[in-house]
């Protein structure tokens, strides 16, 4: 079986201290003196003793009346405070409400001026004066606009609009209708069965010509006054 290597030393220590507590009751110790009993607040830290103020340092004058002071009695005023307050309320200007702002749904109000939302730049000396770069830019923009308008007027003069007379309009309309009849006559002459690609392309070409002629005829009939640009 297992035997500890510390067994002999443990036996020696147990034999030495075996009769240490063979006494009647606990060991006798020094009893504290009854004069040194524990007092209240004796373990709290104590502040140093307060020094007496020197006579040269005087106490400041008190703003409150002293106990021995007596109020002045018998003074009466002939002022009618009711009438004075009424006149002041009637003739006085109404008090302006201070600007506020609300930042929550609950309606919490705060003063607007200390919030930093009020612009203070309006109090500058150069407030309201247009800067030089803005004036220069406006002049350049105005000059460019005038040059553009002059160029447009020159182009319009070069390409002056000419108004068609009633006779020219009537002859143009008759010519378009005649062209449409010719194209329609060719369209009717097409065979019923288009079995080749050239025939199909020719039919689509005639349809496009007829649609364009119909559109032109409708525009001329709708507008009685027509202008043509001189190219």
pLDDT in tens, 85-99: 999 989 988 888 888
Whether 198 maps to a domain, the answer reads yes
Whether 10 maps to a domain, the answer reads no
Alpha helices, H only, 107-231: 132-158, 166-188, 197-222
Q: CA nearest 186: which of 208, 173, 203, 211?
A: 203
Whether 104 maps to a domain, the answer reads no
Structure tokens that stand for 61 in this block: 């004058």
Residues of the chain above pLDDT 70, percent: 88
- What pLDDT is recorded for position 144? 95
Q: Please give the mean pLDDT across all residues of the chain.
A: 83
Mean pLDDT for the stretch of residues 106-127: 80
- What pLDDT is recorded for position 87? 92
Alpha helices, H only, 28-165: 81-91, 132-158
Whether 209 maps to a domain, the answer reads yes
pLDDT band at 30 (very low <50, low <70, confident <90, very high): confident
Per-residue pLDDT reduced to its tens digit, 182-201: 999 988 888 888 888 888 89
- What pLDDT is recorded for position 27? 65
Whether 179 maps to a domain, the answer reads yes
Tell me how many domains the chain contains: 1
pLDDT band at 208 (very low <50, low <70, confident <90, very high): very high
Whether 174 maps to a domain, the answer reads yes
- What pLDDT is recorded for position 131? 86
3-state secondary structure of 100: strand
Q: How far apart are the first and last CA of the chain?
A: 129
Q: CA nearest 227: which of 153, 158, 168, 147?
A: 168
Whether 41 maps to a domain, the answer reads no
Residue 184 has a CB neighbour count (10 Å cut-off) of 14
3-state secondary structure of 174: helix
Per-residue pLDDT reduced to its tens digit, 128-167: 788 889 999 999 999 999 999 888 888 777 766 677 788 8
Whether 114 maps to a domain, the answer reads no
What is the rounded CA–CA span in Å between residue 189 and residue 178? Answer: 17
pLDDT band at 22 (very low <50, low <70, confident <90, very high): low
Give me the domain span that covers residue 179. 162-228
């Amino acid at each position: 079986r297992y035997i500890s290597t510390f067994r002999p030393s443990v036996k020696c220590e147990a034999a030495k201290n075996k009769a240490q507590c063979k006494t009647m009751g606990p060991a006798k110790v020094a009893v504290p003196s009854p004069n040194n009993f524990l007092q209240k607040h004796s373990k709290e830290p104590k502040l140093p003793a307060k020094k007496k103020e020197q006579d040269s340092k005087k106490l400041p004058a008190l703003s409150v009346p002293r106990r021995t002071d007596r109020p002045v009695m018998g003074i009466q005023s002939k002022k009618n405070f009711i009438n004075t307050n009424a006149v002041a309320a009637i003739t006085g200007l109404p008090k302006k409400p201070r600007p506020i702002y609300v930042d929550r749904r609950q309606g919490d109000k705060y003063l607007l001026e200390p919030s930093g939302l009020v612009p203070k730049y309006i109090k500058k000396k150069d407030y309201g004066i247009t800067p030089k770069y803005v004036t220069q830019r406006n002049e350049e923009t105005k000059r460019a606009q005038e040059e553009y308008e002059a160029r447009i007027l020159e182009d319009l003069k070069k390409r002056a609009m000419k108004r068609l007379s009633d006779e020219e309009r009537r002859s143009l309309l008759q010519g378009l209708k005649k062209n449409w009849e010719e194209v329609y006559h060719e369209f009717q002459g097409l065979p019923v069965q288009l079995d080749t690609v050239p025939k199909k392309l020719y039919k689509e070409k005639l349809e496009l010509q007829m649609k364009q002629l119909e559109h032109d005829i409708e525009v001329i009939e709708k507008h009685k006054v027509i202008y043509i640009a001189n190219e």
